[in-house]
Each structure stands twice: as C-alpha cells, then as structure tokens.
Amino acid sequence: MERIGELVSQLGEPEDYFVGKDWGRLILPREILCFHRSNQMEEEGWGGISTSAKRYDQHRRFVLLVAREGSGRVGVETNLWNLQPGEALLMFPHQAHYYVSLPEKFSWLFVTFDLPLSFWSAIQPLRDSPRRLSKDMLATLYEFLSSWTEADDELGALQAASYLGGFLSELSGEEELPSLGVENELVRRVRERVQNNLREDLSVRAIADYLEVSGSYLREQFREGAGVSLGHFVRSVRLMEATRLLRDSSLSVREVAELSGFGSFTAFSRAFGNVYGTSPSVYRKTVGGGNVEDDRAGEEE
C-alpha cells in the first residue's frame, strides 16, 4: 500500500471530470486468423488458392494479403494488380476477388479478421489500394505475427489485435501500387450489361446477341480478360447484389431473389448455399439485416 500511496499522492485534479484516458481511437480487429498459402488447388476448398476456380471469391471478413515470395496477379472487382514480394493488399468484406496468375513457387500470408463498422473509415484509404511495405512496416508485421502466434488467452489476443491495428493504421502511409488497368472494351461492355440488367436474360447467347459477336468468341475473350468464366461472373454479380439487399434492405428473401435475377427461389437458395455455405436468412441474421422471422417463413413455404 505504501507504493500505491506514493502514486496516489501525486494525482492532481482532473481538467474535465467527463473526459479521461481512453483507447477508443485504437483499431482493434476481432477474431483474427493467420494462415499461409504456397500451393494452388485445382478444386474449390479452403486448403489453397487457385487460378482455375472460374469464379470470384467473396467473404464477410476483411482479408489482408501479404506477398512474401513469388509475384502474382490478383483482381478485386474491376481492378487488377501484380503483387510482388513485400507488397500487401487489404480486401474489404464482400469485395469480389480472384487470382489471375500465380507462380509455381510462392509464399503468401493471409490475415482475416472482423472489425466494427465504426473503425472502417479509419482504413478506408486502403480499399482498392495495395501498398509496398517499408522496413519499418515489415518489422511491425513481424511483431504482430509473433504476438498472434504466442497468444493463448484474451490478453494475448488483445495485444495481437493492437499490433495489427497499428499496422493497418500505418499502412495507408506506405507507397501505393498502380492498377494494371487491363480491362478490355468487351469485358467493360459485358460488365455494364450484367450489372445494369440483372433481371434480364444474361445467358451467353443473349449477351453475345447484344454485343453482336459469336458465343464462342464471347466466352474465350471474357475468360481471358476477366479471369473468370462469363457464367460464373454473372452468378457472382447476382449473388453480390443479393448479399447487399439482404444486408441493407428489409425486402423478403423471395423479393431479393427476384431483384437479383434468379429464375426461382429454389435456384437462388441453392446458388447462395453453394457459395456461402448457409441459407439467405441465416446470412441476413449474421449481418444484422432485414426481418429474419419473415424470411424463415418464406423459405418454408
């Protein structure tokens, strides 16, 4: 008590009785996971990344990608970058992304996490803006990984979150990488056609007729320019619109299915489950949107 008393005796009067020392401005990610990828998987799954998946990936969590060895081209929605060793890309929740080219030998670090919406504005400059890591940033990344690896309780997890939050805060000050900007005219026109006409017929034949090209030419050119097949692109865009409506509107699941262009409620539920591993109503509950009870009633009809 004597040592405590010495400190207590040094305390002065607060300048403001309602404003104290606070950690509120610290970015503290939650549920942090770290894993490493060094091989391609020919089939879909969690064990690797692939340039042959023929689809966009889309997750509800933040994904920080750091290239350690090997360069590769990564697409995020309409942007494309060539990531080199020592470069990092932060993907925000629900951003569609895909891998265009990967070397035979590579080593990429993935850090996924949740972050309260109130902190998003602090890291908004990192959206669609990969950065080159300085020596100081690489040292901070090492401190984070060491802390996360050793964490075995809540205090350890909090320390790791603090390191990661500091890394994200400083990352926006690093050198920004230019986009490759390789989207060709045909891909641009297809994207516009699909994104603006989700409720229309978006089959290969319908889009080919609209562009006045053959179906085989359209398939080949779109796959080469966009990195995914046209069919998977259409499905991905419809599902992205569906997740947005489930998250941001009070429309029923059946209305969401119709507005996002699925021919039937059954087709929508099947496609949604195949990609997200859950039903539309359960997904809506996890992101806090809409009326879940009404959705469940609709799904049971």
Q: Distance between CA 114 and CA 30 in Å, rounded?
A: 5
Confidence of residue 134 (pLDDT cuts 50, 70, 90): very high
Residue 301 has pLDDT above 50, yes or no: no
- Structural domains in the chain, sorted by start: 30-176 (2.60.120.280), 185-300 (1.10.10.60)
Neighbouring C-beta atoms of residue 265, cutoff 10 Å:
19
Predicted TM-score (pTM) of this structure? 0.65
pLDDT per position as a tens digit, 80-120: 788 899 999 999 887 778 777 787 888 999 999 999 888 88
Cα–Cα distance, 106 to 85 (Å, whole number) = 9
d(CA 204, CA 210): 10
pLDDT for 49-61, tens place per residue?
A: 655 554 566 677 8
Inform me whether the pLDDT recorded for 228 exceeds 60.
yes
For the segment 246-268, the average pLDDT, to the nearest whole number, is 92
- Sheet strands side by side (includes 79-83): 79-83, 72-76, 97-101
- For strands 79-83 and 131-132, give the pairing: unpaired
Token pair belonging to 12? 């002065």
